Structure 1
Amino acid sequence: MDNQLLKKTFYRHLKLGKSALKKNNFKNAFYHFENTHILGQKHVVRHTVSHYWMLLFAIKSKNRKEIIGQLFRIIASILFTLVWVPKGNTGGTNVSPIKKMPIRKELKKYF
């Protein structure tokens, strides 16, 4: 897989997520941030950026559970990305941080 294409797609989903968050379209924003997590989870900076934006989502949507979970996940992304990440995991507190998940159909071509 072309790493440049994966990186470009990561930033496209990040932009879409930010735009949706700005409009308080929380469901759409989180979906795109989950995609950034899936696409970026093997790269320390992109993985951490995806959790940072999930944290901002959590703050803006006043989701206390997500705020706490993302704070822990930001630390974990810095410490463990190069060691191990659960493939396909969407990164939110609605799933275990160690659960492997199937890659979303629309993202499979990047893996």
Structure 2
Amino acid sequence: MREVLRSAIAEAFHEAGIAMRAKDYQTAYRWLERSHILTQRMPLAHAKSHWFMLNLGLLTKDWREVVGQVPRIIAALLFSRIWVPAGNTGRARVSAFSVMPLSAGLEELLRED
């Protein structure tokens, strides 16, 4: 994995953790969505992004998010290397099969050289 991508993933998880501890849940979700997009092809890191979303759902008492993340964690572990919907933010409010547009910045990070 390219170092730039590795750094972007670490930053996303780090910033999400800071936002969660500060109870800035909207910001935490934005960072976790970013981590999800960046890790979709990496089973363990992909599952980690869903695990954090599940925990954030518990913190906010968003039961739809909690229930929706459980199958996504399993799917991340089993299918990340086979197929993922590019740009999908990973939230329970979004179909797990929806392809979503990528920003130019994310597209650049995900480009394989």
TM-score band, normalised by shorter chain: over 0.9
Q: 5 Å matches for 1:60-75?
A: 60-75=59-74
Q: Which amino acid aligns with 1:45?
A: L
Q: What does 1:1-111 align with in structure 2 at a 5 Å threshold?
A: 3-111=2-110
RMSD: 1.1
Q: What is the CA–CA distance in structure 1 between the aligned matches of 2:14 and 2:76, rounded to whole Å?
A: 21
Amino acid at match of 1:62: K
Report deviation, 1:93: 1.0
- The superposition leaves residues 34-61 of structure 1 with CA deviations (integer Å, 9 ceiling, x where unpaired) of 0000000011111011101111111111
Off by >4 Å, runs of 4+ in structure 1: none
Look up the equivalent residue of 1:100 and give its one-letter code: V
TM-score (norm 1): 0.94
Among the aligned pairs, what percent are the same residue? 32
Question: Separation in 2 of the partners of 1:46 and 1:3?
Answer: 15
Aligned equivalents of 1:7, 1:48: Cα separation in 2:
16
* Number of residue equivalences: 110
Shift of 1:77: 0.4
CA–CA distance in structure 2, aligned partners of residues 80 and 97 of structure 1: 12
Structure 2 residues not aligned, in runs of 5+: none
